[in-house]
Chain A
Amino acid sequence: MRKTGFLLLILIVAVSLALSACGNASDGGKQSGAGDQASGESGKQEKVKLSILAWNNETEMKPVMDGFMKKYPNISFDFQFAPPVKDYIAKLQTMLLSDSAPDIFIIAAENRNEVIDSGHALDLTDYPFMDVMLDSNKPMLSKNGRTYAFTNNGWVGGWFYNKDLFAKAGITKLPTTWDEFVEVCLKLKEAGITPLYDNMQDLTQIHSSLYGNMTLSKDPNFDEKIFSGEKTFADGWLEVFKLWKKDMIDKKIITPDMIGLTGDQIESEFTLGNVAMFFGGPWSIAKLSATPNLNFSMIPVPGPVPGETYYVGAPGVGFAVNSKTKHKEEALKFIEYLSTQEGLELFYQGTGSIMTAKGFEAKVHPSMQQAYEEGLMKGKIYLPMVSWPRHQEALRNQFVIVTQDMAVGKITPEEAVAAIDKKLKEMENK
């Protein structure tokens, strides 16, 4: 009898342990719900904890969140961070699928289709605060004319160059044509200076600028035509790849060893003065400015078509409200706050982003003034991931693979474009 009792006791302990492990999340929810109720009864307004997932870290988001909490003392935040791009996307995806997604999350070019198509984001089109958003920022975060996320910023990038190294190589005039750009690189090489590092673990930015210059300047809707089947990647990209191979790879300005470099390593090499140019944007300014004795500014990569210089850039990621949120009203209040003058100013203070909201005067670093005026504000920016309507990640991966294969001489530009077209076909028929 005693044994049976003992057995029962163990069983109960084991089962309760298992159950408590499984039920943790829901218990927590109930508890906080009860707490809300209690404070709701005692206080005037119900206390709400908004959960946010972003790829800006907490330090960057703190000023704007603090400002919001000051305005709405009853609302506090449960902030979560995941670094861009893959980690963030994977984390959000897991949360959405398991119904544990936060009240507010960000939508990026890379996951906008999946998030919007699956109905996870609230339609924000008709809210008054959306008027503050620039019209040119809307397409990336929209589907069929409805906009699902709010962004108050954009970004533009170009090639930071080290003025001292340029002077050392005897370069007095900045390049304004592709041939001049190649010449500058060769001059630097002759002077024993590595001309540039392009991050080949991502879409290379020279490609994007050249595609803008050589293809989009003639037909701004070229990407749409590729996805409607009217054109192919081969039609739009072959000449770009050929030119890049001829002038960058064959002249050994870009060398296969660069494949092993990460973005961080490239940035460090630039601050150390080991390389004359690298691709960067607003996110690099803090580090570059903090480096003593580094004289730098930014130039675009000019293409062979005169007067059609394209920068790399895109609208900033957008804040979206979870369609299943229990705190819809509060979440919308936060998005609205992001659109106010105060919110815009605090968001700028925290993130240092280039603000592109209507009626807000943006501040940009002097080195990026030209990129801001001639690139971002004139719409001469291109980022494939924003422009491609579907399968961005699959195509981006394929681009990275073929670029690396071309750099090591494994495949020709013709084979590269064929591989990308094949990937698109595969993704369309999946």
Chain B
Amino acid sequence: MVKFLRYLQYEVFLLPILIIYTLFTIVPLIRSFELSLTDFNGYSTDYHFVGLKNYIKLFSDDAIVSGILFTLTFALCSTALITVMAIPLAILLDQNFFTKHIHRALFFFPSIPSGLLLAFIWGFILSPVASGVFNTILREVFGLGAQPWLSDPLLAKLSTIIVAVWAQTGWHAVLYLAFLQSIPKDYFEAAAIDGASRLQQIRYITLPLLAPAMTVSVMLLLTGGLKVFEIPFALTKGGPGFETHTITQVIVLRGISETQFGLASAMSVVFFLIVLVIACFQVTMMQKREERIQ
């Protein structure tokens, strides 16, 4: 009995967060699933059960197909680029140099303001008119003509990915840095005595020992990338056409603007499953990789 009560004591501490989590995550999820089977329009509470109609309609929707393609491209490219840049950056920031604290703060800074704010500022920098900041630099320094950074299908995609990489690399570098600092210095000293070069040390000591950090960082980046909304929305509003519409944007468009809440809910449910599968797959794969390395 005493043991049970002690056990219960710990559970009680979890209660507040459990209530919040249930209220704000589980309940809406269940409600979304419920609504995805109805013709709810977002205004009238008098709605009807329509079975799987919304799920069938979903896969013939041009916008959602285009949204899935861009979202996947965005998530994969930004994850790859950020990971490739954050690890060397973390190694650099780990060195003992005079301005290291200022540098760490500088690289970390872009992750503090909201993505929406950053994207609006970038919108002015990448403005397609000749007076846009970037286009002015191109003209004055390189003598090049104005580029449609946010209007050309390919350039618009590239611009959103680059802004996202710029905004998040510092944060992930700091994550890697934290893990780097937990690697005992003895390993490097031993390797140095054995004649390992700096590159070999990175290849055979740093990278394998960073594997757990990579699992966490890549999972955060992938799920974050799949759920992305603010940056493409503020930069391009999803244009030109459907080119930079993300899945989340299509859900908002169909649900709120077009009052097809049922369809939008069906999209959310399918989207939730896609993210779940990808995240589970990635974490299992990378944990296996960690075990192999260790």
Contact = CB atoms under 8 A, between A and B. Distances in A.
Contacts of B123: 260, 262, 265
B43 interface: yes
Nearest to B54: A430
A256 B240 contact: yes
Q: How large is the interface on B (under 10, 10 to 19, 20 to 34, 35 or more residues)?
A: 35 or more
A430 B39 contact: yes
Given A256-B240, A274-B130, A407-B240, A90 B9 contact: no
Interface in B23-82: 39, 41-45
Interface stretch (B90-98, B199-207, B256-264): B256-264
B227 interface: no
Given A96-B43, A114-B41, A259 B258 contact: no
Interface stretch (B11-19, B99-107, B280-288): B11-19
A260 B8 contact: no
Contacts of A189: none
B258 A260 contact: no
9 contacts: A115-B43, A194-B129, A256-B148, A259-B148, A259-B151, A260-B123, A265-B123, A269-B131, A408-B241
A89 B258 CA distance: 11
A256 B151 contact: yes
Interface of B: 2, 5-6, 8-9, 12-13, 15-16, 19, 39, 41-45, 123-124, 126-131, 146, 148-153, 156, 236-237, 239-242, 253, 256-260, 263
Given A11-B12, A269-B129, A274-B129, 11 more contacts: A6-B9, A7-B5, A10-B12, A17-B16, A97-B42, A114-B44, A114-B259, A200-B239, A255-B148, A397-B257, A401-B242
A14 B16 contact: yes
**Shortest 3 CB-CB distances between A and B: which pairs?**
A260-B150, A257-B148, A257-B128
Given A4-B5, A7-B5, A115-B43, A18 B258 contact: no
Contacts of B237: 201
Contact of A260 (B41, B45, B236): B236
Contacts of A408: 151-153, 240-241
Contacts of B240: 256, 259, 404-405, 407-408, 410
A410 B240 CA distance: 10
Contact of B9 (A7, A194, A200): A7
A261 B127 contact: yes
Contacts of A118: 43-44
Contacts, number: 127
Q: How large is the interface on A (under 10, 10 to 19, 20 to 34, 35 or more residues)?
A: 35 or more
B258 to A, nearest CB: 4
Interface in A387-411: 391, 393-394, 397, 400-402, 404-405, 407-408, 410
A6 B241 CA distance: 61
Interface string A245-267: 00000000001111111100100
Contacts of A4: 5
B234 to A, nearest CB: 10
A18 B19 contact: yes
Contacts of A262: 123
Contacts of B146: 257
B150 A7 contact: no
A117 interface: yes
A409 to B, nearest CB: 10
B162 to A, nearest CB: 15
A62 interface: no
Contact of B43 (A7, A14, A18, A117): A117
